[in-house]
Each structure stands twice: as structure tokens, then as C-alpha cells.
């Protein structure tokens, strides 16, 4: 299925956490986490605000070193940051082109840039700077930047949180389609349970701080998945229950 798009490069990706704990000057954030992300797997992290999801991504990418435990990674990692990951001194195009730094051929680079701008609906905004964009527009530029060029692992920290519902649905579908063409390992943080159920191969529910993985389940239904698919609805029920958000627990 992927042979053509993957060129001849073998899909090298490894991402594991072994007994990882982390704290920020005394504030215990993550406790004794074990995680093995399979190559090509789409893992979604959900959990209460402030429980340590962003911290977990930073540990995976190596930007933060754990206080104890072992992190192993292999492959080219790209991150969609929760806030302000764009360089404010570069235009939309220049920010996206950062992802295409390894592409030597100029026409190919420009073709891919044009395709990405179309993907994120920002044609006509190529020469704008991030401070001239709305939050959702910035988020879409970040998305284009990580998708540009070749990478093995995507870490995505609430990448669609500022988008309107319609665009969010479309971005999910596009992400699934792009991953079909070029499989990558994805670790995706979201507060949107519907999003988790539609995208995940595996959902990890984190507990309150200090966070551990309090529940994980696999969603085996093939993608793309419709919102009304039984598998999606079933998964949403499970996640809601785990977060204590189902109707009976709410009050």
C-alpha cells in the first residue's frame, strides 16, 4: 500500500518510555510511565489539563530530559507545538519551507509548498507574517510545516484546538489521507474525544497529576472512520467513562 510513496527508505521509527518519571522543581508531573509506540501507530493522549501531556511530548522529542527512567527514540521527529512554534520573523511560506530544507530540487520544493498551502486553505497568505494571522490560521501553518518534507514521527500537541468544527473535520480527514500515503508514527494530544475516537489506533487516558496511564484501549476499525461509525461511538463512550464525563457521573 505505501511502497510507492515511501520511496526506498525503510520506515525507521522507534519511540519508547521505560519507567519514566518527571517533576519540575518538586512538582511531580509524570510517574513511572511505560510506553512503546509501534512504527506507524497512531497513539492519542487524553487527560485533564495540566496533567503532563505536553511534558510527555517534550520527553519523547528529547527537548526535556526525564528525572528518572529511559527514553529511546529513532527516526526524524517533527512537532506541532501547542503555542507559538512559528518563527515570527518568517512569512507563512518561509515557515513552511523550513520543513522542506532537505529538498534540493527547487521546482519540487515550490510544488510541495503550493500543495501544502492549498491543503491548509491559506493561498493568498503566503507573504503574511504569523502576527498577522488568527490563532487557527497559525495552527494550520504549523501543521503544514511538520507535514512538509520527510519525517518518521509526528508529535502533535492539540494541533486542531483553535480550528472551527468544519475545518477540524476536514483536517482530520486530510491527516488520515496523508498518513496513508506516507505512514508515520504519530503521538497526538487532544481534549476532543470525538477526535481521539476518529483518529486513534490506541487511546491512552492519563490520570490527574502526577500522571500515569490509567487506561488504554485499542480501536481496530479501519480508517477513514465516519463520525457515526459504531466503532467511533463505542470508543467515545469508553473514553468518556474513563474520564468520568458520562451523563451519570457528570453531576
Partner 1 sequence: MKENQPNSLLKAVAPQKRNGSAALLLPAGVVVALFLLWWAVSYFNLFPAYSLPSPLAVAKSFKEEFTAGRMVNDIIASLWRVVVGFVLSAVLGIPLGLWLGQHLAGRQAFVPVLNFFRFLSPLAWIPFAILWFHIGDKPAIFLIFMATFFPLVLATMSAVSTIPKIYFRVAKDYHYKGSELLNKVTLPAVLPQVITALRVSYGIAWVVIVAAEMVGCQDGLGYGIWEARNGLRLDSAVCYMIIIGVLGMAMDRLLAQLSKLPNVRWGYER
Ligand X SMILES: Nc1ncnc2c1ncn2[C@@H]1O[C@H](COP(=O)(O)OP(=O)(O)OP(=O)(O)O)[C@@H](O)[C@H]1O
Residue 139 binds ligand X (CB under 6 A):
no
Cα angle 172, 109, 115; round to 5: 35
Residue 61 interface partner, choices ligand X, Mg ion, partner 1, none, CB cut-off 5-8 Å depending on type: partner 1
| Shortest CB 143 distance to ligand X, Å | 17
Cβ closest to ligand X, residue 53 vs residue 225: 53
Residue 133: C-alpha distances to residues 31, 52, 91, 127, 140 (Å): 38, 28, 11, 11, 10
Q: Which three cell numbers stand for residue 214?
A: 490509567
**Residue 124 cell numbers, joined:** 493568498
Q: Does residue 101 interact with partner 1 by CB under 8 A?
A: yes
Interface with ligand X (CB under 6 A), residue from 33, 35, 37, 51: 51
> Which of 15, 43, 52, 54 touches Mg ion (CB under 5 A)?
54
# chain residues binding ligand X, by CB under 6 A: 12
| Calpha distance 168→157 (Å, rounded) | 14
Find the binder of ligand X among 54, 79, 91, 139 (CB under 6 A): 54
From the list ligand X, Mg ion, partner 1, none, pick the one residue 101 interacts with, judged by a Cβ distance below 5 to 8 Å according to partner type: partner 1
Q: Cis bond leading into 224, ω under 30°?
A: yes
Give the residues across from 185 on adjacent strands. Answer: 153
C-beta of residue 235 within 8 angstroms of C-beta of residue 196 = yes
Minimum Å gap between C-beta 195 and ligand X is 14
In the complex with partner 1, which residue's Cβ is closer, 96 or 204?
96
- Which segment (96-104, 197-205, 229-237, 239-247) binds partner 1 by CB under 8 A? 96-104
- CB of 189: closest distance to partner 1 in angstroms? 16
Rg of the chain over Cα atoms, rounded to whole angstroms, equals 18
Locate 88 and state its grid cell: 515570527
Rounded to a whole number of angstroms, the minimum distance from the CB of residue 233 to ligand X is 24
Residue 50 engages ligand X in binding (rule: CB under 6 A): yes
Tell me the β-bridge partners of 23.
28
Query: How buried is 145 (Cβ within 10 angstroms: 0-12 exposed, 13-18 middle, 19+ buried)?
Result: buried
Footprint of partner 1 (CB under 8 A): 61, 63, 77-79, 81, 83-85, 87-90, 98-99, 101, 121-125, 127-132, 137, 166-167, 170
Amino acid at each position: 500500500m505505501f511502497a510507492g510513496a515511501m520511496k526506498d527508505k525503510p520506515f525507521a521509527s522507534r519511540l519508547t518510555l521505560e519507567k519514566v518519571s518527571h517533576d519540575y522543581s518538586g512538582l511531580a508531573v509524570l510517574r513511572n510511565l511505560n510506553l512503546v509506540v509501534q512504527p506507524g501507530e497512531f497513539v492519542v493522549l487524553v487527560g485533564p489539563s495540566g496533567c503532563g501531556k505536553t511534558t510527555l511530548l517534550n520527553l519523547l522529542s528529547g527537548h526535556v530530559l526525564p528525572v528518572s527512567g529511559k527514553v529511546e527514540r529513532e527516526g526524524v521527529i517533527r512537532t506541532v507545538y501547542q503555542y507559538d512554534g512559528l518563527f515570527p520573523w518568517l512569512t507563512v511560506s518561509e515557515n513552511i519551507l523550513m520543513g522542506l530544507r532537505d529538498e534540493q530540487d527547487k521546482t519540487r520544493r515550490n510544488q510541495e509548498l503550493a500543495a501544502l498551502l492549498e491543503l491548509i486553505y491559506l493561498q493568498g497568505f503566503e507573504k503574511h507574517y504569523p502576527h498577522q494571522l488568527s490563532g487557527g490560521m497559525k495552527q494550520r501553518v504549523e501543521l503544514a510545516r511538520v507535514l512538509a518534507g520527510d519525517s518518521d514521527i509526528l508529535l502533535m500537541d492539540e494541533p486542531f484546538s483553535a480550528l472551527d468544527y468544519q475545518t477540524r473535520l476536514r483536517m482530520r480527514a486530510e491527516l488520515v489521507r496523508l498518513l496513508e500515503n506516507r505512514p508515520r508514527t504519530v503521538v497526538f494530544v487532544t481534549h476532543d474525544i470525538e477526535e481521539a475516537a476518529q483518529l486513534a489506533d490506541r487511546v491512552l487516558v492519563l490520570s490527574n497529576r502526577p500522571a500515569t496511564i490509567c487506561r488504554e484501549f485499542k480501536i481496530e476499525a479501519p480508517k477513514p472512520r465516519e463520525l457515526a461509525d459504531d466503532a467511533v461511538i463505542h470508543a467515545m463512550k469508553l473514553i468518556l467513562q474513563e474520564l468520568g464525563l458520562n451523563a451519570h457521573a457528570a453531576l
